[in-house]
A and B are shown apart, each in its own frame.
Chain A
Amino acid sequence: MVSLLDIIGPVMVGPSSSHTAGACRLGLLARGLVGGTPETARIELHGSFARTGEGHGTDKAIVGGLMGFRPDDERLRTALDIMEREALDYTFEKTTLGEDNEVHPNTVRITLARGGRTAVMQGSSLGAGRVLVTQIDGYPVEVTGNLHTIVLVAEDVKGSIARIATLLAEAELNIATLRLSRKQRGGDAFMVIEIDEQPGEAVRDTIRALPWVRWAFRLDKVGAA
């Protein structure tokens, strides 16, 4: 369903909703996977992101997103200078992440690290500022950033989903979607939980304290409005 406020919006730094606003949102989501501004990042640009990204400020937008700037933040324009001033070690590469019919033309893979934690995220900018994260640490996922999201990796134990659903319900959080993916049976499970309300740090910490949870992070809502 189309919202009137999606049409009159978003408020954003130009010039392109896909190459600038969407790129910034992918940076913001990646940042969530290491719980803050990464110290190092390897940013691999694919397709149209690689070909016309510089002219659209795609590089600045991704770096700005990694530093926590939102799509309407004018600091995006000088994000590369700020990155240098903050002595952040971010590098860019142009690459091919797959065949044209398999990988969206506006795709980036970001390998990032902060405080000993590393993560790899691949995501695409679908147009009009909408984004889709398709891979985290090699697990196939679907994260849109339209809602608050918790991502976690857990041992594949019975009852894990019920336990987490109960925890969220006790915190008065309403699950909008829950997706589970595994690389193999009995292997670790990757959970993506989209939530209507913003989860607090206490919920994240409670989830992290579960003995079978390897790690858990909150990704902020980055969608329009």
Chain B
Amino acid sequence: MYKALADAIRDAEARGVTLATVALEAEAADGGRTIPDIRATLGRALAIMRGAITQGEDPDMRSASGLVGGDAAKLISGPAGPLAGTLFRDVLMRALAVQEVNACMGVIVAAPTAGGAGVLPAVLTGIAAAKQVSEEKLIDALATAGLIGAVVAERASLSGAEGGCQAETGAAAGMAAGAAVEMLGGTPSQVGHATALAQQGTLGLVCDPLGGLVELPCVFRNATGAAIALAAIEMAMAGITFAIPVDEVIDVMGEIGKSMDVRYRETAGGGLAATPTGRRLAKERLVQIKRADG
């Protein structure tokens, strides 16, 4: 697999093919699986992602702690905001839905992780529904997202415990932005700019879940991560470029993660988890989980 997006972009542009094509070829060469076989696996992942969105639309959904659930449904039937009836609101709904399902021990695709699992399906399936994108192109988009994520894993990190939330929902936003731009007909270079634009907007984002649970703020951070991806997609498709090359943006995300205090890396020792209300809620809810489990 590629270790730099610049290499993948150069190869794809030299041959006049998509990043999905070079990513699938690299995966086939590495793992000894055929491209149709890899695409079939991605197709199954897509089906699981859609299933999670549908399941998460349930207004009665609650996590074991009771901290999250039922908010995706509010974006379906709750009062209108300025973005009612738009793709933007639909994408937010989808991101919340997947992450609520995750918090409720439902089945999701960890892409790239369980904690950041809402962003990619929300952005890709939301845009595909609004713009009538074919199933084939959606599967290609997952391959492109996988390529971007693999480069982030190689150069930086995809773990909140190592790099904070910038490495989970931040990386997911970069993957989703790049993949969506290619799905919409953008060039490989535009994919790189979209990924850089999304990732730059999440630099420094800490991982600070209440009680260490993948619930609060994780559910909402998937929605805001998806919103950052949409912003990056719109800018990149308009031809806006980001002056710092995407691989350098990814590298600096890794460096920021390494220098981040341990309190901000999934330990519940800092950030929202350490606010007075955060501490109180975590304490109460952990007691409730113990009671619920008898």
B150 near A4 with CB under 8 A, answer yes
B114 near A14 with CB under 8 A, answer yes
A-binding segment of B89-97, B208-216, B250-258: B208-216
A-binding segment of B128-136, B140-148, B193-201, B229-237: B140-148
The answer to whether the Cβ of A9 comes within 8 Å of any Cβ in the partner chain is yes
A15 near B114 with CB under 8 A, answer yes
Identify which of A51, A54, A72, A127 contacts B159 (C-beta below 8 A).
A127
Contact with B along A63-106 (1 / 0, CB 8 A): 00000000010101100100000000000000000000000000
Q: Interface size on B (CB < 8 Å)?
A: 58
Residues of A within 8 A of B153 (CB): 2, 6-7
A3 near B212 with CB under 8 A, answer no
Q: Assuming the A-B contacts A12-B114, A14-B114, A14-B117, are A128 and B108 also in contact, with contact meaning beta carbons closer than 8 angstroms in the complex? A: no
Bound together, the chains give a CA A56 to CA B105 distance in angstroms of 8
The answer to whether the Cβ of B41 comes within 8 Å of any Cβ in the partner chain is yes
Residues of A within 8 A of B41 (CB): 5, 9, 225
Identify which of A2, A15, A48, A127 contacts B215 (C-beta below 8 A).
A15
Identify which of B102, B147, B285 contacts A4 (C-beta below 8 A).
B147
Contact with A along B278-291 (1 / 0, CB 8 A): 00000001100110
Q: Assuming the A-B contacts A3-B150, A54-B293, are A21 and B105 also in contact, with contact meaning beta carbons closer than 8 angstroms in the complex? A: no
A7 near B289 with CB under 8 A, answer no
B142 near A15 with CB under 8 A, answer no
Contact with B along A11-45 (1 / 0, CB 8 A): 11111111011000000000000000000000000
Smallest CB separation, A121 vs chain B (Å): 24
Chain A residues touching B, range: 35 or more
Smallest CB separation, A177 vs chain B (Å): 18
B211 near A128 with CB under 8 A, answer no
Which residues 13-35 of B have a CB within 8 angstroms of A?
23-24, 26-27, 30-31
Bound together, the chains give a CA A18 to CA B162 distance in angstroms of 13
Q: Assuming the A-B contacts A8-B42, A57-B105, A72-B107, are A14 and B146 also in contact, with contact meaning beta carbons closer than 8 angstroms in the complex? A: no
Identify which of A1, A14, A52, A225 contacts B105 (C-beta below 8 A).
A14
In the complex formed, the residue of B with least CB distance to A84 is B294
Smallest CB separation, B178 vs chain A (Å): 12
Smallest CB separation, A93 vs chain B (Å): 15
Bound together, the chains give a CA A59 to CA B64 distance in angstroms of 13
The answer to whether the Cβ of A129 comes within 8 Å of any Cβ in the partner chain is yes
Smallest CB separation, B166 vs chain A (Å): 16
Residues of A within 8 A of B215 (CB): 15, 55
Residues of A within 8 A of B175 (CB): 7
Residues of B within 8 A of A15 (CB): 63, 102-105, 114-115, 213-215
In the complex formed, the residue of A with least CB distance to B159 is A127
Which residues 90-127 of B have a CB within 8 angstroms of A?
101-115, 117, 120
Bound together, the chains give a CA A32 to CA B215 distance in angstroms of 33
Task: Tell me how many residue pairs across A and B have CB atoms closer than 8 Å.
Answer: 148
Bound together, the chains give a CA A5 to CA B108 distance in angstroms of 14
B212 near A7 with CB under 8 A, answer no
Contact with A along B237-279 (1 / 0, CB 8 A): 0000000000000000000000000000000100000000000
Residues of A within 8 A of B102 (CB): 14-15
Identify which of A8, A20, A57 contacts B45 (C-beta below 8 A).
A8
The answer to whether the Cβ of A140 comes within 8 Å of any Cβ in the partner chain is no
Bound together, the chains give a CA A2 to CA B114 distance in angstroms of 17
Residues of B within 8 A of A52 (CB): 211-213, 268
The answer to whether the Cβ of B73 comes within 8 Å of any Cβ in the partner chain is no
The answer to whether the Cβ of B149 comes within 8 Å of any Cβ in the partner chain is yes
Bound together, the chains give a CA A80 to CA B290 distance in angstroms of 13
Q: Assuming the A-B contacts A14-B102, A14-B214, A15-B102, are A7 and B150 also in contact, with contact meaning beta carbons closer than 8 angstroms in the complex? A: yes
Contact with B along A151-195 (1 / 0, CB 8 A): 000000000000000000000000000000000000000000000
Bound together, the chains give a CA A52 to CA B64 distance in angstroms of 13
Bound together, the chains give a CA A10 to CA B146 distance in angstroms of 12
The answer to whether the Cβ of A60 comes within 8 Å of any Cβ in the partner chain is yes
Identify which of A8, A17, A55 contacts B114 (C-beta below 8 A).
A17
Identify which of A8, A10, A51 contacts B149 (C-beta below 8 A).
A8
The answer to whether the Cβ of B161 comes within 8 Å of any Cβ in the partner chain is yes
The answer to whether the Cβ of B65 comes within 8 Å of any Cβ in the partner chain is yes
Residues of B within 8 A of A80 (CB): 293
Contact with A along B50-94 (1 / 0, CB 8 A): 000000000000011100000000000000000000000000000
19 A-B pairs (CB sep. < 8 Å): A1-B1, A2-B154, A8-B143, A8-B145, A9-B110, A11-B44, A11-B107, A14-B101, A14-B103, A17-B110, A20-B105, A21-B110, A48-B212, A55-B286, A56-B214, A59-B293, A127-B161, A128-B113, A129-B110
Residues on A lying within 8 angstroms of B by beta carbon are 1-18, 20-21, 48, 51-52, 54-57, 59-60, 72, 74, 76-77, 80, 127-129, 225
